[in-house]
Every structure is written in C-alpha cells, then in structure tokens.
C-alpha cells in the first residue's frame, strides 16, 4: 500500500497530478533506462563499434513491458543499484549474441543520470505548460481589475490605496520571470551523462566523443562538455528553480488566505459545493487550495535543501550523496506540480469582491490617504510640518466619529493652504492610486 501523500489513493491528486506521477514512476524511469541502452547501441553501431544487427536486436527488446519487475526488484536489492539488473534482463531477452554488446563501454551512473535528466525534461514540459496557464489567468485578473481600488498593506496594516490589478500584475511579473528562468536553465540542465568509469571514456579508446555526438542525436539531449558524475549543479539548479516557483505560489496563497478572512472578505477561492466545508460549522469556507499550496511549497523547500546537500560528493564517483536525489526528486517535482495545479485552479476561478475592497478602503474614514494629504501640504508647510499635522489629526480621538476630511476642514492651518475641493480630492482613495494602472499595462504588454 502507498505510504506517501503523493502516491496515496486519498491524497495523491491534492498534492500532485497523474501526469507528473507517471514521469517519476518505476515504469517511466525504467523505460528511460531502456531508451538509453538502445540509443547507446545504435550510436555505437553507427560508428562500427558494435554490429548493427546487435543494435537492432537490443532496440527491439528495450521495452518496459518486457521487464520482469519482481526479478528486477530482487536484483536491485541485492546489487544496490537498479541498472545492472536491467542490463541482465536485456542480455537475456536478446536473441543470438546481441546481448553481449548491451551497455558497451558504459557505467551504471551514465544510465541513471541520463534517465533522471529525461525525467526532468518531461517534468519541465508539464511545469512549463501549467506555468503558461497560471500566467494567462493572472494576466486576465490584472487586466480586468486594472482600476479596482483596494488597500495596500504594510505589516498587515492598511498603508495607501492601490488596485487589485496592480497586486495581480506583481504576481504576473514574477511568474513571467519564472518562465524566463525555466527557458534559461533547460539548456544547462538537459545534458546527458556518458563518461564510463570515472568520466574519461577510456573504455572506448579514441571513439568516446564520437559516441557522445551520436548519442546526443539519439536522445535529444545536449552533449556534456566533460563528465559530471559528481558535479551535481544541474540537478540542484532544477530543484532551486522549483523552490523559487513554489515560493512565489505560497506568497500568493498567503495573501489570498488573509483576503479570505471573514473580517476582510476581499477575495475567495472558486466556489465548489462542499469544498472547504467544516464538519461542525456550516458557515465556513476554508482556503483549501491555499493550504495545499503552502504545504507543497514548504515540503519542496526542504527537498531543495537535500538536493544542495547532495552536491557534496567525493572524488569521481560518490558514496551516498547521489542517492539523496533518488529519494528527493520525485517528491519535489510532484509537489511543485501539485502546487502549480492548485494555483491554476484558484487563479482561473478566483472570486474578487470589489465591494468589500472599497468598504475596507473606507473603513478608516480617510486614514488610508493621510499620506496623500501630507504630500499635498508638504510644498506649502514643509514635509516635516505636514507630517506632524497629519499625525496629530490621525491620532485625534475625534477620528472615531469624524472623517479625515471633516477634521482637515476644521483646521485653519490646513484650510489656509488647501481649498475644500483640494481637501476632498486628496481624501478620495481613488485619487491616490499612483501609477497602478500604468504599471499593470507595462506588465501585461510583456506577456506576449
């Protein structure tokens, strides 16, 4: 029975997706081992290193449905590594003497690392597609709410007005940076491994680099400039990207959780009957997707730390750190994909309560625009004096019953410098949205 959340029949589609789980499954990984062995045989045959008929026979049998997984598991347990058991089965399945040419000049880690890169490549395809979904949904929200006023917050306190579109455009700009990061890192990461024992390709004499060139064509991956058996920056960079991406998603989820509070009520996750229900409190609508995004992101961060630890490897073939990746990569990719899927669900159906945003802007009777008034008075009184005047007004006990506009109009030192129309304009939150709309437009224009 499954024991992890990402494989649990109950939780697996909360913390991940079937598509991502398939990429990190035993069957997919094993097929990538087989793909590598078949590609190596064809590459070597094209250079006359092994017979062409041997390569054809190896290619014929390298299908995951031909593998006896029970035997495979037993051999892996005994040997300690999964590749040799696969090589044994390929050799046994081949007719004639083709099997003796399987794995010619290679080492276990060549196959394991290349299979991992192929899994990462397939995972990045999924991540990239989901990221595009999130970008499209966020751009739509930014565009639709370009001029929807709300309170910006600092230290959980109302600061100055902005628009909800501005808030979404900031998220959009970050997601666009992640899309750019993904495009930048893929060529660095999607590089196969083939170096044999310690990376020198001595087993193939002077044909080693020629085999690499042919293997690159077969696999659709880049040729390494040099062996990287114990240089794990490619794998660590993939993990760090996922840490950055899920960090952004968790920040969005945190904001939405706060906006969903009963006392705030400015936005809600999409409504689905019974979603977020309480067993005892019928009125509750919990931020379910936000909770799962938060949990996924926190778990990914811990996995990233493990992947960074796996970089500390000894000499040319390591004793232990490498295996950290086997344990960690399925989790971090599945959980990152799960967080992104949850975020897409939320962004595509987000309920925005513009009326509550406006009500919250007005709840302080104008205090949210005290900076606007201060800046209006500053050219006349000086900034420090203007600040002192507004500080005194904002902390006047009368603010509990009167608005900032009323108290400003009651002060002669203010009305001597500002007309009633100027005061009413300065105390209108919609007059102090700054360049919110302009910045929204700039970000949306860069979506492409």
pLDDT in tens for each of the 448 residues of the chain? 778 888 888 888 888 899 999 999 999 999 999 999 999 999 999 999 999 999 999 999 999 999 999 999 999 999 988 999 999 999 999 999 999 999 999 999 999 999 999 999 999 999 999 999 999 999 999 999 999 999 999 999 999 999 999 999 999 999 999 999 999 999 999 999 999 999 999 999 999 999 999 999 999 999 999 999 999 999 999 999 999 999 999 999 999 999 999 999 999 999 888 777 667 787 778 999 999 999 999 999 999 999 999 999 999 998 889 999 999 999 999 999 999 999 999 999 999 999 999 999 999 998 999 999 899 999 988 999 989 988 988 888 877 788 999 998 988 998 989 999 999 999 999 999 999 999 999 999 999 7
DSSP string of 19-74, one letter each residue: HHHHHTSHHHHHHHHHHHHHHHHHHHHHTTSS-HHHHHHHHHH--GGG--HHHHHH
Residues 408-447 pLDDT 10s: 898 899 898 999 999 999 999 999 999 999 999 999 999 9
Neighbours of 151 (CB within 10 A): 21
CA-closest candidate to residue 116, choices 188, 211, 19, 36:
36
Which residue of the set 278, 431, 442, 446 is catalytic? 278
Tokens (6 digits) for 441:
């437009």
Across the chain, which distance is largest between two alpha carbons, in Å? 104
Residues 13-66 pLDDT 10s: 888 899 999 999 999 999 999 999 999 999 999 999 999 999 999 999 999 999
317 is catalytic: yes
Dist. CA 252–CA 347, nearest whole Å: 10
CATH 1.10.40.30 fits 362-445, yes or no: yes
289 is catalytic: no
Fold type of domain 1-106+194-227: Fumarase C; Chain B, domain 1 (1.10.275)
Tokens (6 digits) for 66:
């031909």
Give residue 26's region: left, alpha or beta (phi > 0; psi -120 to 50): alpha
What pTM, to 2 d.p., does this model score?
0.94
Which residue of the set 301, 317, 356, 424 is catalytic? 317
CA-closest candidate to residue 101, choices 64, 59, 58, 60:
58
Under 8 Å between Cβ of 75 and 85: yes
Q: Where are the domains of the chain?
A: 1-106+194-227, 362-445
Instruction: Say which DSSP state 155 is in.
Output: T
Tokens (6 digits) for 243:
């840490």
Under 8 Å between Cβ of 287 and 269: yes
């Amino acid at each position: 029975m499954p024991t992890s959340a990402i494989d649990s029949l109950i939780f697996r589609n909360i913390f991940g997706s079937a598509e991502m789980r398939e990429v990190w499954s035993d069957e997919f990984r094993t097929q990538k081992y087989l793909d590598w062995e078949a590609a190596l045989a064809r590459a070597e045959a094209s250079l006359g290193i092994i017979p062409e008929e041997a390569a054809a026979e190896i290619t014929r049998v390298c299908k995951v449905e031909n593998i006896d997984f029970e035997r495979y598991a037993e051999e892996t347990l005994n040997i300690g590594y999964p590749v040799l058991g696969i090589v044994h089965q390929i050799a046994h399945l081949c007719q004639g003497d083709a099997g003796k040419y399987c794995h010619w000049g290679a080492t276990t880690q060549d196959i394991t690392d290349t299979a991992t890169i192929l899994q990462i490549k397939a995972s990045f395809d999924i991540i990239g597609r989901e990221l595009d979904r999130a970008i499209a949904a966020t751009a739509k929200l930014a565009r639709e709410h370009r001029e929807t006023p709300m309170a910006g917050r600092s230290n959980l306190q109302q600061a100055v007005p902005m628009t909800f579109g501005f808030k979404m455009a900031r998220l959009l700009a970050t997601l666009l940076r992640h899309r750019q990061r993904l495009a930048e890192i893929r060529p660095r990461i999607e590089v196969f491994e083939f170096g044999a024992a310690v990376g020198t390709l001595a087993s193939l004499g002077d044909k080693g680099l020629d085999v690499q060139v042919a293997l690159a064509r077969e696999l659709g991956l880049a040729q390494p400039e040099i062996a990287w058996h114990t240089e794990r920056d490619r794998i660590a960079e993939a993990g760090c990207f996922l840490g950055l991406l899920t960090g952004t998603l968790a920040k969005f989820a945190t904001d939405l959780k706060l906006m969903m509070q009963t006392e705030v009520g400015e936005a809600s996750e999409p409504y689905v009957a019974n979603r977020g229900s309480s067993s005892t409190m019928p009125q509750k609508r919990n931020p379910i997707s936000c909770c799962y995004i938060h949990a996924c992101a926190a778990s990914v961060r811990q996995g990233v730390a493990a992947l960074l630890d796996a970089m500390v490897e000894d000499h040319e073939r390591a004793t232990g750190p490498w295996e950290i990746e086997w344990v960690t990569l399925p989790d971090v990719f599945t959980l990152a994909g799960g967080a992104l899927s949850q975020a897409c669900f939320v962004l595509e159906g987000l309920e925005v309560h513009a009326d509550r945003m406006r009500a919250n802007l007005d709840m302080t009777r104008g205090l949210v625009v005290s900076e606007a008034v201060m800046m209006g008075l500053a050219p006349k009184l000086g900034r420090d004096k203007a600040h002192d005047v507004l500080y005194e007004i904002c902390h006047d006990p009368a603010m509990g019953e009167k608005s900032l506009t009323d108290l400003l109009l009651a002060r002669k030192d203010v009305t001597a410098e500002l007309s009633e129309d100027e005061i009413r304009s300065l105390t209108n939150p919609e007059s102090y949205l700054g360049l919110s709309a302009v910045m929204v437009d700039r970000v949306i224009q860069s979506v492409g």
